Each structure stands twice: as C-alpha cells, then as structure tokens.
Amino acid sequence: MAGTSPSLAGGEEYFFAAVGDRLIRYALDADGRMREIAALAMPCNVQYACLDPARALLYVACSNGGVGSRGDRHRLALVAVDGAMRMLMEPIALPHRPIHAALDLAGHRLLIAYNLPAALSVHALDGKGRVDRCIGHWEGADLVGWFPHQILPVPGSDEVLLTCRGDDATAEGAENPGSLRVLRIEQDQARLVQVVSPRGGFGFGPRNCAFHPTAPWMYAVLERQNALAMFQVCKGRIAAQPACTVGMLQHPERIHRPQLAGALELHPNGRFAYAVNRSHAVVPDGPHMVWAGGENSIVVFRLDARTGEPVRIQTTPLHGLHARCIAIAQGGRLLVAALRQASQRRTDAGVEDCPAGFSILRIGHDGCLAPLDHVAVPVGTGQLFWAGSGQDGER
C-alpha cells in the first residue's frame, strides 16, 4: 500500500519494535535520534507486524512458539497507532505460529504465512481495516512449498508471492527444496499459477524478496547460500532462473555457522538495495561467551539502472549479533538495523559488551551507510525479534 508511517511534529515519525510480548513505539527524527514513547502488551510474543499507514493500523502476529518451536497459542491483534496505542478488537486465534504478514495492494485483505507447518491464510478486512473473516487457510507442500518465510502482493496484479526457504539437509533428513510460488486467491480458493525453483529448488533458499518500485525486477535474499539473486519479471511472471546472483560475505572461505543472509530492503528511489549478513555463533572465552567470528553486517548494492544487476559497493559492520530486521525510515535518509540479542566480543582492549538495540545509519546520496548511533534496548533473556518503520517495500 502507498503511504508513509504515521508522523509526529518536528520531523519525527513513528518506529515500531517488539521485545517478547511488548510492542513498543518510538519517535525517530531525521538526525537519527530515537526515543521510546509508548508500549502495549500483546497476547503473546510478537512474531511480525504489518502497518497500514493510510489507516494508522498495525496488524500484529503473535505466538508462544518461536524459532524451531511450534507453540500452542497463536493470535492476530489489531492495534490503532494514530494516538495512544490501543487494541481495536479481541485478538483472533490463528491456527499456527505466524511468521510473516502483509496487506494486499488494495488494503482489502491481510495475508499471513506460517512455517511449521507450511501454510497460508487470507483474511478479509472491512472498510475500516478491521479483520472481518478468514477467507481461507491452505496447507500442503504441493501448494505452499517448504518453510514459507514471507508473503507479498505481486505488483500490478491480485496475486501473491510466497517465498519458501526450504531446509538444509541434516542427520535426520534430506534437504527440502526452496521455491518462489505465485498464487491466485479467488473467493475461497487458492490456485498455484507459478513455481520458480532453479535446480528443482535444491541449493536454493530464498528468505526475503522485494520488487523494484518502477522496473520489472525482483530481488531475493538466499538465506542458505548467503547471496542476493536478481530475477526479471514479465507480465507478473518471474523468470525461471535468476539473471545474476551475487555473494554477500566478505570471507566465504571461513564461515562460522550459523551464518545466514537475512532481511532485504530496497531504497524508495530504486537505486540501492540493502541486505543483512547475520550470525549468532558464540564461543567460550574464559568466563565469557564471545562472538565466534561470524559476519554481522549490512551489504549495500547499487542497482544498475539499465539491467537491474546488483553491484556490491559497501559492507558496513554491525556492532552486535544477528540483525533480524532492518527498515528504511525518514523518506530514505536513514536505515535502522535491529540487533536481536545482547552479546560480547573480544577486542584488543578486552571483552566488550554489545547490547541489543538499534544501529542507526545515515544513507548518503551514493547509497552508502554512515553510522550515527546505537540505541540500546534491554531485552533480558528475550530478544528484539521484530522492528519496522512502515516505509519498506512490504507495506
């Protein structure tokens, strides 16, 4: 949906995040100053949230499950963010742990993806944006693939894209293939209209996708391959093979697992892409547990204006572990990376604390990032699991 995040006086705008079941609203100004202004308890831990900026509504997907845990209590909450944050209706029960949510382009339906089990649900919204009813719920690998991680509306159509990461092979089982799946939702039926799965989806693990704002290109972060792939798009259909794939790691020869590619954002001007390298591996260092040496950074790509090819122009290190979410704010002038957990690292001066929180970076005219500030967020034994501004390409 078009629009910007709800704003405040003096050039500030709202920024949202969640620690456990605590939904937090911040004020963020153009100079990168951030302050907490409100918080609201959700039914259980926040997994993801989707902003409708036109109606100043936040759809909050919650669960007592987590990474690798299904949980047994799952809810969808609707929060008004036009003034004091407040619940607008009784939270709605969901069938599984929700992992991602998005609005369709018209703002008439809410789309929710689930990973365990792989599933998709679509919910009709009334004229005020309230959840009216569940249009349908679908499961089964033939339709929704393996490990859906994201759902997006396809620009220029009423179809949706389900980004399915798949799973690496383990001692317990073989690899599950990844795929990009385009579905059409008509009345109460979901129909698969396209599957993109290079090499049958083996060695292909897309986690997050983003459509270019003006050109027929789509970008996919390949979590399991630590790479960014670019696909041509023609008449709503994604090319069967990527036009190009670019590695994201500075030192792919010395990976400290888990080493994962993560969140993806395109700049509103369509000239740059930002993708995350994330790791949370730690090792003992005397009485401390310190970084194992994995790459935690944001990779900046310049997007060729003629071909769409991403060219890596900068890798900006993050001073903390595992940025699960990034968001572009202030009309494309700032990028905020949400570092999921508190950590420690070994430096020449000794062991340094690295608090969870927000790394705030200035976006230059050339697309490159310059650090401005780090705002620590106390998470205790929890995690800063979700954050967003409402200005990214998913809204």
Q: What is the pLDDT of residues 51-76, one digit of tens each?
A: 999 999 999 999 999 887 898 999 99
First to last CA, the chain: 5
Identical fold at 42-204 and 215-395?
A: yes
For residues 179 and 199, the answer to whether their CB atoms sit within 8 Å is no
**Is the predicted pLDDT of residue 291 greater than 50, yes or no?**
yes
Q: In terms of residues, how long is the chain?
A: 395
pLDDT band at 5 (very low <50, low <70, confident <90, very high): low
Question: What is the distance between the alpha carbons of residues 161 and 280, in angstroms, rounded to a whole number?
Answer: 29
| Domain 42-204: CATH superfamily, name plus number | YVTN repeat-like/Quinoprotein amine dehydrogenase (2.130.10.10)
Domain residues of the chain, as ranges?
Answer: 42-204, 215-395
Q: pLDDT tens, 215-250? A: 999 999 999 999 999 999 998 899 999 999 999 998
How many other CB atoms are found less than 10 A from the CB of residue 279? 21
- Contacts with 178 (C-beta within 8 Å, 6 or more apart), sequence order: 145, 146, 147, 164, 165, 166, 197, 201, 204, 205, 206, 222, 224
- Kindly indicate the confidence band of residue 96, based on its pLDDT and cuts at 50, 70 and 90: very high
Residue that wins the pLDDT comparison between 117 and 394: 117
pTM: 0.94
Q: Do 392 and 328 form a contact (C-beta atoms < 8 A)?
A: yes
d(CA 48, CA 386): 6
- Work out the angle at residue 52's Cα, subtended by the Cα atoms of residues 48 and 55, and round it to the nearest 5 degrees: 140
Which tens digits make up the pLDDT trace of 366-394? 999 999 999 999 998 889 999 998 554 34
pLDDT digits (tens, 9 = 90+) for 295-342: 999 999 999 999 999 999 999 999 888 999 999 999 999 999 999 988
What is 215-395's CATH number, 2.130.10.10, 3.30.70.1150, 3.40.50.2000, 1.10.10.10? 2.130.10.10
CA distance readout (Å), 128 to 92, 135, 153:
17, 17, 20
**Pairing mode of beta strands 109-115, 57-63:** unpaired
